């Protein structure tokens, strides 16, 4: 666990985990009477280490604690159980999603638990935003990585905690359509921000926001500048096109879905320089796989 001070009253607490493959960040805002904890990582043991850290332990003992979940993904909420008796807040959809799929995440990734994990759901939810005026801290809905994703802005330090809405080098897409995601990133550009804290990886600047935004704009326009992409970016892009394609096919929008599959194959071809013949074969395989999915749904 690495604890770094950001601004006058912020702390980025980062945890390593090989299974996740990147560091995961918790953001703590230590205001006069209240400590805000953004996200709770993998369980009570990791939260216990943070609460007893030299620089934070006295304040955690005497101040009110407010916990925030940026979204319902397992790697951001399992530590809620450590804060069972405290105020836990999230967007209303985040809570709904956690109630619906929390158990599934726990079963699937349970080997990663840090301590005894019980699913503890947010107690206070908001639909648009929730502002703590006196403390200068606001939470607001920013759908993107998930439909219930929300972000936290510290007005005093000008720090924006974005959960998994910003990713390096470009975001993975999980939900279609992407208009809401685009709107959320555009909203970020209206804030004065000294530091962006993503749910994973390094503390970021406007540059990461701009890169993520530029990519989503390309997705929206369905025009990709593949020649500018790094290899890693191309791989994420292929995965995104497949995700979008199958999402749309499952929704019954077969033709729209196929457009994404074709884009996925174009990127695949660019990435591995496979022949036109192979590309055609792969495309047919993808379409057939999804035909099967569709017939199973009926
Ligand atoms: Zn995550």
pLDDT in tens, 26-83: 999 999 999 999 999 999 999 999 999 999 999 999 999 999 999 999 999 999 999 9
Give the Å distance between the CA of 111 and the centre of ligand 1.
16
Pure H helices in the chain: 44-51, 57-62, 74-77, 92-109, 179-188, 206-221, 231-250, 254-272, 276-297
Instruction: Return mean pLDDT, the chain.
Output: 91
Protein residues within 5 Å, CB atom, of ion ligand 1: 73, 75, 164, 199
- When the candidates are 1.10.760.10, 3.30.450.20, 3.60.15.10, 1.20.1440.60, the CATH number that belongs to 2-220 is 3.60.15.10
Give the Å distance between the CA of 284 and the centre of ligand 1.
33
Give the Å distance between the CA of 124 and the centre of ligand 1.
22
Give the Å distance between the CA of 254 and the centre of ligand 1.
30
Instruction: Name the region of 65 (left: φ>0; alpha: ψ -120 to 50; beta: rest).
Output: beta
pLDDT in tens, 191-225: 999 999 999 999 999 999 999 999 999 999 989 98
Give the Å distance between the CA of 135 and the centre of ligand 1.
27
pLDDT in tens, 142-187: 999 999 999 999 999 999 999 999 999 999 998 877 899 999 999 9
Domain ranges within the chain, ordered by starting residue = 2-220, 224-297
Give the Å distance between the CA of 206 and the centre of ligand 1.
20
């Amino acid at each position: 666990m690495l604890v770094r001070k950001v601004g006058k009253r912020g702390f980025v607490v980062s945890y390593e985990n090989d299974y996740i493959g990147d560091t995961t960040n918790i953001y703590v805002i230590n205001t006069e009477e209240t400590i805000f904890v953004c996200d709770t990582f993998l369980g009570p043991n990791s939260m216990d280490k943070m609460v007893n850290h030299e620089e934070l332990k006295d304040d955690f003992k005497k101040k009110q604690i407010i916990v925030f979940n940026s979204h319902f993904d397992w790697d951001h909420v399992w530590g809620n159980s450590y804060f069972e008796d405290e105020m836990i807040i999230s967007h209303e959809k985040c809570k709904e999603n956690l109630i619906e799929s929390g158990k599934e995440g726990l079963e699937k990734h349970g080997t990663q638990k840090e301590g005894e994990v019980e699913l503890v759901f947010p107690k206070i939810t908001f639909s648009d935003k929730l502002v703590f005026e006196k403390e200068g801290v606001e939470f607001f809905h920013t759908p993107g990585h998930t439909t219930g994703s929300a972000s936290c802005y510290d007005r005093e330090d000008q720090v924006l905690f974005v959960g998994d809405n910003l990713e390096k080098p470009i975001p993975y897409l999980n939900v279609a359509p992407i208009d809401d995601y685009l709107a959320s990133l555009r909203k970020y550009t209206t804030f004065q921000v000294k530091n962006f804290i993503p749910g994973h990886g390094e503390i970021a600047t406007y540059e990461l926001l701009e890169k993520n935004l530029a990519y989503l704009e390309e997705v929206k326009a369905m025009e990709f500048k593949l020649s500018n992409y790094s290899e890693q970016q191309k791989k994420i892009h292929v995965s995104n096109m497949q995700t979008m394609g199958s999402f749309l096919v499952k929704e019954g929008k077969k033709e729209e879905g196929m457009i994404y599959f074709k884009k996925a194959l174009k990127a695949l071809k660019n990435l591995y320089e496979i022949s036109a013949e192979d590309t055609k074969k792969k495309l047919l395989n993808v379409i057939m796989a999804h035909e099967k999915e569709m017939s199973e749904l009926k």
